A and B are shown apart, each in its own frame.
Chain A
Amino acid sequence: MPNPADNPAPPGVNRRRFLKLGAAAAAGGALGAGTGLWLDCGGSSRTAVTILKASSYRQELATLIRAGLKNHPAVIERARDRRVLLKPNLVEYSNARRVNTHPAVVAAAIEAFRAAGAREVLVAEGPGHQRDTEMLLEESGLDDALRHARAPFVDLNLDSIRPVPLAANYTQLGKLWLPDTALGADLIVSLPKLKTHHWAGVTLSLKNLMGVVPGAKYGWPKNLLHWRGIHQSIADIALALRPGFAIVDGIEGMEGDGPLMGETVPAGVLIMGENLAAVDATATRVMGLRPERVAYLQLMALHDGVICEDAIAQRGERIAAVRRHFKVLEPFAVLRS
């Protein structure tokens, strides 16, 4: 793994803070969890995160998401007359419902962004270890949902690609090849599932962005990123792509041995906001875990990521009203509150 101490501090980041946090993140990458070194709330202004109760995939989710979007007028403005890319978490056809972002949530987000005035809404994903995207689409039910919604799907693994310089370069790769479809979108919306993760601790809207990295260059799995540090990779990808919104499908989440083999938790929430670190920090708190101990959230706090609870303007439900206590594997016991 690269040593962050060898890396110059990214533009705008205090070098002393960066070195301390870099060392923490590298240790976290090696251990699979953050070290608990608390450095900063991140960000300089409050950002809004909305929590909505949603008990079933059969309820009117588009109306709910549209109501939630009203708490985020800047993203509505950003979507109007623009090209919006929705990035769900589509991983596995076996146990599809418990593993992937539910097709009903994807369909509802399509409808909500169309209602917000988006010129085009497309759905795009580059599954991480399963090359048979057609099978994933069909057996997850997403194919039917997209056909019904008349929304296009782009396999980001097989898109045209180009190298993008990494400003922060936590992975020390220097550049990352990324798909033209993602780079050309006006607004990227991450649609993850609320899950624990056996290598990263939690997988939410930022970790979901690893699916944007193209298999055509990096393979299935995109293993080079793991060797360069999961946390460092997540931060580099997020800083290169600059996603503008996230909606976490927490209607049914996963605890324990996620992202594939864990148990379903009927958490009954959707969590959304413009600042993905803030969304993930809130979602982590909803899971009964400590976001300040997730190394990639610490890294994002060095940039414009907001993870301190006091810096997040909570809309909708209070965290305490929806909090569950997700089980984590023993290496991530440090994340428990």
Chain B
Amino acid sequence: MIQRGRDFLSASQLADGGWPYRPKAAALLEPTCYALAAMDQAALTKERDAGIRWLVARQMPEGAFALPNDSEPHWATSLAVLALAQHGAAGPQRAEAVKWLLAWGGRTMTQQAALTLDGQLVGWPWTGGAFSWVEPTACALLALKRGGQRDHPRVAEGEKMLLDRQCADGGWNYGNPAVFGAALHGFLPTTALATLALQGSRTANEATRRGLDFLQREIQKHRSALALSLAILCLAAFGRPVAEPAATLAARQQPDGSWRQDVRLTALAVLALQTADGGPNLFKLDDAKPR
């Protein structure tokens, strides 16, 4: 099952070494990062090396990664750090990317009556010139922690920003717990990433527990590959059981080995099933216990 997923990924890789979201489209950063991370680490394959070369070629002089034919820093820079670290590749390039992440941040805003969040907390944005949101902040925290920056003040502030954005139901959505007094609900994928990003935090025990409870509760109701994969990776990182969601995820694999003919979903499903089988976890930090 995992090998069939990897076979789909191999078949979807483009001649230039990158991966698209959908077969035959153009290569982009995020699917390349996840597909590369999902490649077998034990085998030195041509596909893996071509993927690393494609990714490294996307790095700009300031350390950020950019889309092909673009010159603006891209939010998947954090994922590039994680994917390259998974293969122990491109150490100097990863160090430059980590340095850039520490200097990059979202814009702040003054308190607005419609919102309950603290707009002064600087996390990480999707694009330059925009506010900070949960997913890019969670991925930046994971990359920085993996890159040896766990004690950096930006990491502490990023964790504080995630705590500020947790929804009343214990989950996280894109980054807004309430608007005009109405509580918004959490989403499974962002809850998994935010909870993973809080690994090792001194101040997030209760928030982490609520996030994990949210995942265990909600995963009973939803069956999408993205939600299942990220929930498995998160729950497994904290030692919670994943056999049931893993079985559900496996059952959704299509005859061509993919999940919905989607490279990113297939890569995440491979990563999740590999973790559920006792293999490595892309998002698990070596020491997940609170510092």
Residues of A within 8 A of B (CB): 94, 129-132, 134-135, 138-139, 155, 158-163, 177, 180, 198, 216-224, 226-227, 257, 260-261, 329
Interface size on B, residues (CB 8 A): 46
Report whether A223 and B180 are in contact in the complex, using a CB–CB cutoff of 8 Å: no
Q: Which residues of A contact B174 (CB under 8 A)?
A: 129-130, 220-221
Report whether A160 and B189 are in contact in the complex, using a CB–CB cutoff of 8 Å: no
The answer to whether A224 and B265 touch (CB under 8 A), given A160-B20, A216-B30, is: no
The answer to whether A223 and B133 touch (CB under 8 A), given A131-B226, A257-B179, is: yes
CB < 8 Å neighbour of B131 from A94, A180, A227: A227
Report whether B187 and A227 are in contact in the complex, using a CB–CB cutoff of 8 Å: no
The answer to whether A131 and B135 touch (CB under 8 A), given A160-B20, A227-B107, is: yes
Closest to B132 in A: A223
Report whether A219 and B225 are in contact in the complex, using a CB–CB cutoff of 8 Å: no
Report whether B225 and A218 are in contact in the complex, using a CB–CB cutoff of 8 Å: no
| Nearest chain A CB to B259 CB, angstrom units | 8
Complex: how many Å from CA A219 to CA B173? 13
Flag the segment in B39-47, B87-95, B122-130, B235-243 that touches A. B122-130
Q: Which residues of B contact A177 (CB under 8 A)?
A: 70
**Interchain Cβ contacts under 8 Å between A and B, 15 examples:** A131-B135, A132-B188, A132-B227, A134-B226, A134-B260, A158-B22, A177-B70, A217-B70, A223-B133, A224-B128, A224-B130, A227-B131, A257-B180, A260-B184, A261-B179
Q: Which residues of B contact A216 (CB under 8 A)?
A: 21, 28, 30, 67
Asked if B25 is at the interface of the complex by the 8 Å CB criterion, the answer is yes
CB < 8 Å neighbour of B182 from A217, A226, A261: A261
| Nearest chain B CB to A327 CB, angstrom units | 13
| Nearest chain B CB to A51 CB, angstrom units | 30
Q: Which residues of A contact B127 (CB under 8 A)?
A: 217-219, 223-224
| Nearest chain B CB to A207 CB, angstrom units | 17
Residues of B within 8 A of A (CB): 20-22, 25-26, 28, 30-31, 67, 69-70, 74-75, 107, 114, 125-131, 133, 135-136, 173-174, 179-180, 182, 184-185, 187-190, 222-227, 260, 262, 264-265
CB < 8 Å neighbour of A138 from B26, B129, B180, B223: B223
Report whether A132 and B129 are in contact in the complex, using a CB–CB cutoff of 8 Å: no
Q: Which residues of B contact A162 (CB under 8 A)?
A: 69
CB < 8 Å neighbour of A132 from B26, B128, B187: B187
Q: Which residues of A contact B264 (CB under 8 A)?
A: 158
CB < 8 Å neighbour of B26 from A134, A160, A224, A227: A160
| Nearest chain A CB to B12 CB, angstrom units | 13
Q: Which residues of B contact A139 (CB under 8 A)?
A: 222
Complex: how many Å from CA A159 to CA B67? 13
Complex: how many Å from CA A216 to CA B126? 10
Closest to A217 in B: B67
Closest to B24 in A: A160
Closest to B131 in A: A223
Q: Which residues of B contact A132 (CB under 8 A)?
A: 187-189, 224, 226-227
Complex: how many Å from CA A155 to CA B179? 27
Report whether A219 and B22 are in contact in the complex, using a CB–CB cutoff of 8 Å: no
Complex: how many Å from CA A161 to CA B224? 25
Complex: how many Å from CA A216 to CA B22? 12
The answer to whether A134 and B265 touch (CB under 8 A), given A129-B173, A158-B21, A198-B114, is: yes
The answer to whether A219 and B180 touch (CB under 8 A), given A132-B227, A134-B226, A160-B20, is: no
Complex: how many Å from CA A131 to CA B128? 20
